[in-house]
């Protein structure tokens, strides 16, 4: 069995918006959500910029008592998941809960809780460790809490593939629905680990921008880029088979037309310089959907603003699309949000779907002069209108993960 996999609900909480509509409006308006860091010690770490979710209020979906029992990344996930669930209308449709699953991608989960509880133990002794420490820290609890809230008895899974975790969670959900194993999956990514330890860990790898002006810290594809900006957020989608959506009268927002992951098998953190296997992932995802490269009009790039990633990804796109690459619109929304790590792939899939539906590609803000090896149309500075039915969302992760999601606009 091979089902079409439709998107019937989306939710998001990000540094540029408290929901999908606000986040996408900010994206096309070129609003930068990166600011001075307040969650971690900028003087101690030497890193001053961060993409924080400001004025986050989960009270619509989470009570104060519940919030105290959840890590911040879980709170973000719960809000985004409930937004997607509500938009889908699934809760009022008499669905079979045994055939609806929950899947979550997160790269680092409750690392902040681990650090907090370690300090508590060292300062106050063994008995000071909270009984909620483990449930709050482990990644899979978040998916479990969403399933508990909604009474969903299908597979409840967590995916950890570094910065491609959110995309790979969507990929696993896509296969489950496509193959007929499930009617629907509530799937997404969540991350919030802007703490001294995590920041310094990335800093020691020379992965983070040391720029003191937050608006110039995340500038993908620019010759002056010097690393990515840590950020937080969450995004969820309700994926559903076309037949199930039709049966309950749901109107699809779009389609997941394909998903492929490859592995560089090259280096634990660096991508292959020529982008060979990132290019292969893009080629394979188009082959899976049975489309030609000229059917794709937009790519939401992984675009981290690191010296290695941006050149490798640009080269991969040229390698995959050949001469047609110059006709593609390619942009990085990380120029506005920073890098949400394990949540990035899910959030960027949501933004890509919005871009397709409204026919406008969000810009790469802050980009002034393209770096050597970056030869594409990066939607520099301002959004551009586009007319295409297909777009690709790229997500790459430490470990050599290359994950590509192909999204399709639904015919009116």
Annotated catalytic residues are 163, 302, 339
Q: What per-residue confidence (pLDDT) applies to 376?
A: 98
How confident is the model at residue 2, as a pLDDT?
A: 87
pLDDT in tens, 263-282: 999 999 999 999 999 999 99
**Is residue 100 within 8 Å of 90, Cβ to Cβ?**
yes
Tokens 């969000």 appear where?
A: 362
164-201: pLDDT as tens digits: 999 999 999 999 999 999 999 999 999 999 999 999 99
**121-141 tens-digit pLDDT:** 999 999 999 999 999 999 999
**Cα–Cα–Cα angle for 37, 43, 45, rounded to 5 degrees:** 80
pLDDT at 412 > cutoff 70: no
pLDDT band at 411 (very low <50, low <70, confident <90, very high): confident
Q: How far apart are CA 26 and CA 33, in angstroms?
A: 9
> How does pLDDT run across 313-361, given as a tens digit for each residue?
999 999 999 999 999 999 999 999 999 999 999 999 999 999 999 999 9
Q: State what percent of residues in the chain have pLDDT above 90.
A: 98
Instruction: Give the pLDDT of residue 359.
Output: 98
Could you give the C-alpha distances from 314 to 113, 307, 347, 399, in angstroms and in order?
37, 11, 21, 19
Strand order in 254-263's β-sheet? Answer: 156-159, 100-105, 184-191, 233-241, 5-13, 254-263, 401-408, 390-397, 296-300, 329-331
Return the pLDDT at 196. 96
- On the 0-12 / 13-18 / 19+ scale of CB atoms within 10 A, 411 is exposed
pLDDT confidence of residue 1: 64
pTM of the model: 0.98
Whole-number mean pLDDT of the chain? 97
What domains sit in the chain, N to C, each tagged with a CATH number? 5-247 (3.40.47.10), 257-405 (3.40.47.10)
């Amino acid at each position: 069995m091979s089902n079409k996999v439709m998107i019937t609900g989306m939710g998001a909480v990000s540094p540029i918006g408290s929901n999908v509509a606000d986040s996408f409006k900010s994206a096309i308006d070129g609003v930068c959500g990166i600011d001075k860091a307040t969650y971690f010690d900028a003087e101690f770490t030497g890193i001053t910029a961060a993409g924080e979710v400001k004025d986050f209020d989960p009270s619509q979906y989470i009570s104060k008592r519940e919030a105290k029992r959840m890590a911040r990344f879980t709170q973000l996930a719960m809000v985004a998941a409930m937004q997607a669930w509500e938009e889908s209308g699934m809760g009022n449709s008499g669905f079979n809960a045994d055939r609806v699953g929950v899947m979550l991608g997160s790269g680092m989960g409750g690392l902040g809780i681990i650090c907090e509880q370690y300090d508590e133990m060292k300062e106050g002794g063994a008995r000071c460790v909270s009984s909620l420490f483990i449930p709050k820290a482990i990644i899979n609890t978040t998916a479990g809490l969403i399933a508990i809230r909604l009474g969903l008895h299908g597979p409840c899974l967590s995916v950890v593939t570094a910065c491609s975790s959110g995309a790979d969670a969507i990929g696993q959900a896509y296969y489950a629905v496509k193959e007929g194993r499930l009617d629907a999956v509530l799937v997404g990514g969540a991350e919030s680990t802007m703490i001294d330890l995590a920041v310094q860990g990335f800093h020691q790898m020379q992965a983070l921008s040391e720029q003191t002006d937050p608006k110039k810290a995340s500038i993908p594809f620019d010759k002056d880029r010097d690393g990515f900006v840590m950020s937080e957020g969450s995004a969820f989608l309700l994926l559903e088979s076309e037949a199930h959506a039709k049966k309950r009268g749901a109107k699809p927002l779009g389609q997941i037309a394909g998903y492929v992951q490859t592995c560089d098998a090259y280096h634990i953190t660096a991508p292959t310089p020529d982008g060979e296997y990132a290019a292969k992932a893009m080629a394979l995802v188009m082959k899976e959907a049975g489309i030609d490269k000229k059917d794709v009009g937009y790519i939401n790039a992984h675009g981290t603003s690191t010296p290695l990633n941006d050149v490798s990804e640009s080269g991969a796109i040229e390698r995959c699309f050949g001469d047609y690459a110059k006709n593609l619109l390619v942009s990085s929304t990380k120029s506005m949000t920073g890098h949400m790590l394990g949540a990035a792939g899910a959030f960027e899939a949501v933004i890509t779907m919005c871009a397709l539906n409204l026919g406008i590609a969000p810009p790469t803000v802050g980009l002034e002069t393209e770096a050597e090896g970056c030869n594409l149309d990066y939607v520099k500075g301002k959004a551009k209108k586009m007319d295409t039915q297909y777009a690709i969302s790229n997500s790459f992760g430490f470990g050599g993960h290359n994950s590509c999601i192909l999204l399709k606009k639904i015919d009116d």
